[in-house]
Amino acid sequence: MILSPLLGRPWRLELTYSARHGILSTDVEGTVLPRLDTVLQQAVGEVTAPSVPRWQGRYHTLSGHSEVRLALAPFVIQQNGRELAVRGGRLRLEGVFGDWRLRALFDQLTLMDGMAQLEVGPTELESRYTYIDDAYHFAQRDHLHIETLTLSYPSYDIQLSPLDLKSHMVLDESELRIKGDVEIGDVMVPSEAPDMPLLNGRIALELSRLNADAVRNVIRRLRQEAAWGDASLPMAEGLLARLEPDLRKVLSDSPRLDVTTVAIESPLLGIRLDADGALFLMPVSWMSLAWFISTKRKSRRNGWSVSMATSPGTTRPPSPRYG
């Protein structure tokens, strides 16, 4: 069995499988072999792996519950002196119509470019997608957790542990809303301050008032394009032009971006920043858009301003004020 995207075919997956059919369930297992076209192969580089990834699946006949597991063997990608090494990973997808859950676990990922090296992981992704017929309404929650991230140069290292990214997307009758939350653990520079973080903090925001009917029209158009397919082009010719009217309508309800939390602290520098604000996109006419920005900045001392708090024993820098 071969799987490939219809809007151009830069890659394909060759799946081999064997199935065991039972009265209550069907079990499937096999291998997954990725293939790249010539252009993408040249862009990505050579891929080597000691073994072919294997997958397993089970379908429960009575309940309609499905479960798929994929075990990813370690592999290496090399290109022009750069190297990406992945130690391996595991993926599990399960659910029924209208409710699917994904959990992916990846071991350490290492990217090397000359004397520089980036190490990421272990990494865990949890996702849940719920929907009704034709995805007229849907909701999706995602949580990406990176235990450790290390950037190494010959002269110094930068370490971050941990990093969490969360998102919640909801399409209801009237609008599409997207919430995002980034939690940054301690960022350390061991060569400069082995026991004190350079910074840590959290940023939370929400994008709302994206017109729901226009979003559904964009999704419907993309499904049509995928059904038509185009083996020779990475994107069907004229697709963006055909989508432009619906993309404009997505912005017709004056989308709003609320930055509900910006809380960044630098124990090493003795500085703390707390802020929030809102950004509005307002259509002035069919041919032009105007931006209105409204921001609020908090201070623990007076009114609305940026707070720059210092640690005990340090000199407090002047607080910038915004009238």
**266-302 per-position pLDDT tens digit:** 999 999 999 999 988 765 443 344 344 444 444 333 3
Condensed to tens digits (0 to 9), the pLDDT of residues 9-43 reads 556 777 888 989 888 889 988 887 777 665 555 55
Q: Is residue 121 situated within a structural domain?
A: no
More confident call, 190 vs 237: 190
∠ CA 151-53-74 to the nearest 5 degrees? Answer: 30
Q: Is residue 277 situated within a structural domain?
A: no
Q: Is residue 101 situated within a structural domain?
A: no
Q: Is residue 178 situated within a structural domain?
A: no
Q: Is residue 269 situated within a structural domain?
A: no
Bond prior to 312 in cis (omega within 30° of 0): no
CA-based torsion, 39, 44, 50, 54: positive or negative? negative
* Mean pLDDT computed over 118-128: 95
Q: What is the model's pLDDT at position 313?
A: 42
Q: Is residue 59 situated within a structural domain?
A: yes
Q: What is the model's pLDDT at position 307?
A: 37
Q: What is the model's pLDDT at position 207?
A: 95
pTM: 0.78
- Under the banding of pLDDT at 50, 70 and 90, the label for residue 172 is very high
Q: List, in order, residues 6 or more apart from 70 with CB less than 8 Å away.
A: 32, 53, 54, 55, 56, 90, 91, 92
Residues 260, 220 contacting (CB under 8 angstroms):
no
CA gap 181, 206 in Å, rounded: 9
CA gap 13, 24 in Å, rounded: 29
Q: What is the model's pLDDT at position 6?
A: 58
Tell me which DSSP letter residue 38 carries.
Answer: H
Is a pLDDT exceeding 70 seen at residue 165?
yes
DSSP character string of 139-200: EEEEEEEES-EEEE-SS-EEEEEEEEEEEEEEE-SSEEEEEEEEEEEEEEBTTTBTTS-SEE
More confident call, 149 vs 289: 149
Condensed to tens digits (0 to 9), the pLDDT of residues 66-109 reads 999 888 878 787 777 788 888 888 999 999 999 999 999 999 99
Q: What is the model's pLDDT at position 84?
A: 84
CA gap 13, 1 in Å, rounded: 8
CA gap 93, 65 in Å, rounded: 11
Condensed to tens digits (0 to 9), the pLDDT of residues 36-66 reads 665 555 555 566 666 677 888 888 888 889 9
Q: Is residue 31 situated within a structural domain?
A: yes
Is a pLDDT exceeding 80 seen at residue 171?
yes
Range of the domain at 20: 1-72
* Mean pLDDT computed over 120-141: 94
DSSP character string of 215-264: HHHHHHHHHHHHHH-BSS-SS-TTHHHHHHHHHHHHTTT--EEEEEEEEE
Q: What is the model's pLDDT at position 154?
A: 87
Q: What is the model's pLDDT at position 283?
A: 58
Condensed to tens digits (0 to 9), the pLDDT of residues 180-227 reads 999 999 999 998 888 999 999 999 999 999 999 999 999 888 887 766
Q: Is residue 303 situated within a structural domain?
A: no
Tokens of 14: 């060759």
Q: What is the model's pLDDT at position 319?
A: 38
Is a pLDDT exceeding 80 seen at residue 250?
yes
Number of domains the chain is built from: 1
Is a pLDDT exceeding 90 seen at residue 120?
yes
Is a pLDDT exceeding 50 seen at residue 305?
no
Residues 65, 96 contacting (CB under 8 angstroms):
yes
